[in-house]
Amino acid sequence: MKNRRTLLMATLIVFMLSPVVGIFSPIPAAEPLQTESAQTIEDPGTQDMQELLGGVNLELMMFVPTASDDGGLYYICRRGMDAVAYFGISEVHYLVGDVYFTLEFPGSNLVIPEGEMPTGSVTNYFYGSDSSLWRTGLADCAELRYREIYPGIDLVYRIQNGYIKYEFVLAPYADPTDILLKYADVDTIEVHDECVSVSKDGHEIEDAGLWAFQMSSGMDDVDCTFQYHDTHTVSFSVGAYDLSQELVIDPVINLVYSTFLGGSLDDVAYSIAVESGCAYVTGFTYSSGFPTVNAYDPTLNGTTDCFVTKFAIDGQSLVYSTFLGGASSDTGYSIAVESGYAYVAGSTQSSNFPTANAYDTTHNGGGYDCFVTKLAADGQSLIYSTFLGGIGIDNGEGIVVESGYAYFTGGTQSSDFPTNNAYDPTYNNGGDCFVTKFAADGQSLLYSTFLGGTSSDIAKSIAVESGAVYVTGYTQSSTFPTEHAYDATHNGGQDCFVTKFSTDGMFIDYSTFLGGTSNDYGQSIAVESRCAYITGYTQSSDFPTVNAYDPTYNNGYDCFVTKFADNGQILIYSTFLGGPSSDTGYSVAVESGCTYVAGSTQSSDFPTVNAYDPTYNGGYDCFVTKLTDDGQSLVYSTFLGGPSSDTGYSVAVESECAYVTGNADSSAFPTVNAYDPTHNSGHDCFMAIISLDADMDGLLDWDEARIGTNLYCIDSDNDNFLDGYEVAFGSNPLDPFSYPSMPQAWYDAIYEDLDGNATLIQNLIAWSNGNSSHLETVIHQLAENATLVQQVIAWLDGNHTAIETLFTYVNGNASLLLDTVNYLDGNATQLYAVVALVTHNANLISLLNASVIGDFNDIRAVIEMLGASVGDLDYDGLDDLDEIALGTDVDCIDTDCDNLNDAFEVKIGTDPLNDDSDGDSYLDGLEVIAGTNPLDALDYPGSTRGSDPTLLIVVVAGAGIAVIIILITIRRMRGRS
DSSP 253-287: ESSSEEEEE--SS-EEEEEEEEETTEEEEEEEE--
CA distances from 411 to 128, 357, 393, 414, 561 (A): 65, 24, 8, 9, 23
161: how many CB neighbours lie within 10 A of its CB?
21
CB-facing half-sphere around the CA of 843: CA atoms within 13 A: 11
- Rounded to 10 degrees, the C-alpha dihedral 781/786/787/791 comes to 60
pLDDT of residue 775: 41
Rg (CA), the chain: 31
Report phi then psi at 872, rounded to 5.
-140, 90
By the 10 Å C-beta count (0-12 exposed, 13-18 middle, 19+ buried), 420 is classed as middle
Helix (H, G, I), strand (E, B) or coil at 465: strand
pLDDT tens column, 303-330: 999 999 999 877 888 999 999 999 999 9
pLDDT band at 127 (very low <50, low <70, confident <90, very high): low
For residue 11, pLDDT over 90 is answered with no
Give me the amino acid identity at 381.
S
Report phi then psi at 626, rounded to 5.
-115, 125
User: What whole-number distance in Å separates Cα of residue 337 and Cα of residue 346?
Assistant: 15
Angle 663-665-667 from CA coordinates, rounded to 5° = 120
Residues 19-41: what's their mean pLDDT? 27
How many angstroms from the chain centroid is the CA of residue 406?
25
User: What whole-number distance in Å separates Cα of residue 101 and Cα of residue 95?
Assistant: 6
User: What whole-number distance in Å separates Cα of residue 341 and Cα of residue 404?
Assistant: 9
Tell me the H-state helices in 19-126.
Answer: 46-52
Residues 896/926, Cβ–Cβ less than 8 Å: no
Question: How many residues are listed for the chain in this entry?
Answer: 977
User: What whole-number distance in Å separates Cα of residue 63 and Cα of residue 166?
Assistant: 13
Please name which of 856, 894, 863 lies closest in space to residue 877, comparing C-alpha atoms.
894
CB-facing half-sphere around the CA of 479: CA atoms within 13 A: 9
pLDDT band at 788 (very low <50, low <70, confident <90, very high): very low
Q: Which residues on adjacent β-strands are paired with residue 576?
A: 560
Residues 815-830: what's their mean pLDDT? 55
pLDDT band at 923 (very low <50, low <70, confident <90, very high): confident
pLDDT of residue 846: 65
Mean pLDDT of the chain: 77
Give me the amino acid identity at 615.
T
Please name which of 350, 447, 469 lies closest in space to residue 399, comparing C-alpha atoms.
469
User: What whole-number distance in Å separates Cα of residue 313 and Cα of residue 336?
Assistant: 17
User: What whole-number distance in Å separates Cα of residue 600 and Cα of residue 900?
Assistant: 53
For residue 181, pLDDT over 90 is answered with yes
Buried b (16+ CB within 10 A) or exposed e, 600-609: bbbbeebbbe
Angle 141-142-145 from CA coordinates, rounded to 5° = 85
pLDDT of residue 31: 31
Instruction: Report pTM.
Output: 0.55
Q: Which of 185-194, 438-447, 804-813 has the highest mean pLDDT?
A: 438-447
Q: Which of 155-164, 361-370, 930-939 has the highest mean pLDDT?
A: 361-370
User: What whole-number distance in Å separates Cα of residue 290 and Cα of residue 268?
Assistant: 11
User: What whole-number distance in Å separates Cα of residue 242 and Cα of residue 6?
Assistant: 35
Please name which of 75, 78, 102 lies closest in space to residue 25, comparing C-alpha atoms.
78
User: What whole-number distance in Å separates Cα of residue 797 and Cα of residue 767?
Assistant: 7
231-235, 703-707, 841-845: least confident range = 841-845
User: What whole-number distance in Å separates Cα of residue 198 and Cα of residue 358?
Assistant: 49
How many angstroms from the chain centroid is the CA of residue 516?
38
pLDDT tens column, 37-80: 222 223 333 333 333 333 334 445 678 888 776 567 889 988 76
pLDDT of residue 346: 98
Residues 561/588, Cβ–Cβ less than 8 Å: yes
Q: Which of 135-139, 527-531, 654-658, 895-899 has the highest mean pLDDT?
A: 527-531
User: What whole-number distance in Å separates Cα of residue 759 and Cα of residue 203?
Assistant: 71
Please name which of 8, 118, 135 lies closest in space to residue 63, comparing C-alpha atoms.
118
Residues 946-974: what's their mean pLDDT? 32
Strands (E), 515-629: 520-528, 531-538, 558-564, 571-577, 583-591, 594-601, 621-627
pLDDT band at 701 (very low <50, low <70, confident <90, very high): low
Residues 633/651, Cβ–Cβ less than 8 Å: no
| DSSP assignment letter at 755 | T
DSSP 871-914: --TT-SSS-HHHHHHHT--TT-S-TT-SSS-HHHHHHHT--TT-
Containing 942, the helix (H) or strand (E) segment is none
Residues 372-401: what's their mean pLDDT? 97
User: What whole-number distance in Å separates Cα of residue 513 and Cα of residue 499?
Assistant: 9
- Residue ranges of domains in the chain, CATH in brackets: 6-32+58-127+134-253 (no CATH), 257-690 (2.130.10.10), 719-870 (no CATH), 914-972 (no CATH)
pLDDT of residue 768: 36
Q: Which residues on adjacent β-strands are paired with residue 615?
A: none
User: What whole-number distance in Å separates Cα of residue 558 and Cα of residue 220?
Assistant: 40
Maximum Cα interatomic distance, the chain, rounded to a whole number of Å: 95
634: how many CB neighbours lie within 10 A of its CB?
19
Report phi then psi at 886, rounded to 5.
-80, -20
